[in-house]
């Protein structure tokens, strides 16, 4: 069963020539353990913030259990735990 379905997700911040995320597509299935690895500034935190509906993508969409997180923000609070890097 697909839990997260990320489709062509892009995030471009104002004033930056290079997008933080550029057309990322991936699926995370139930029971999988998934990690994002990369250098500082690679876009990992930006991607996760979009996955939990704390940041709106410039393009693309994030589905959680088949529903867009942007249209159903309660899905992330019910099904996902998120701890920001600075608290």
Half-sphere exposure of 81 (CA within 13 A, CB side): 0
Where residue 41 falls (left for φ over 0; alpha for ψ -120 to 50; beta otherwise) is left
Who contacts 56 (Cβ-Cβ below 8 Å, separation ≥6)? 50, 70
- Its pTM stands at 0.90
Half-sphere exposure of 25 (CA within 13 A, CB side): 4
**In the prediction, which pLDDT does 45 show?**
94
Q: Is the pLDDT of residue 87 over 80?
A: no
**Which of 85, 73, 3, 81 lies closest to 44, judged by CA?**
85
pLDDT digits (tens, 9 = 90+) for 12-67: 999 999 999 999 999 999 999 989 999 999 999 999 999 999 999 999 999 999 99
Q: Name all domains of the chain by residue range, CATH numbers in brackets.
A: 2-77 (3.40.50.300)
**In the prediction, which pLDDT does 84 show?**
84
**In the prediction, which pLDDT does 3 show?**
96
């Amino acid at each position: 069963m697909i839990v997260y379905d990320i489709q062509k997700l892009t995030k471009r911040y104002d004033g930056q020539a290079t997008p933080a995320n550029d057309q990322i597509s991936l699926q995370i299935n139930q029971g999988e353990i998934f990690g994002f690895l990369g250098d500082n500034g690679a876009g990992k935190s930006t991607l996760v913030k979009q996955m939990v509906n704390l940041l709106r993508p410039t393009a693309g969409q994030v589905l959680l259990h088949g529903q867009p997180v942007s249209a159903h923000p309660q899905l992330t609070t019910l099904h996902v735990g998120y701890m920001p890097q600075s608290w």
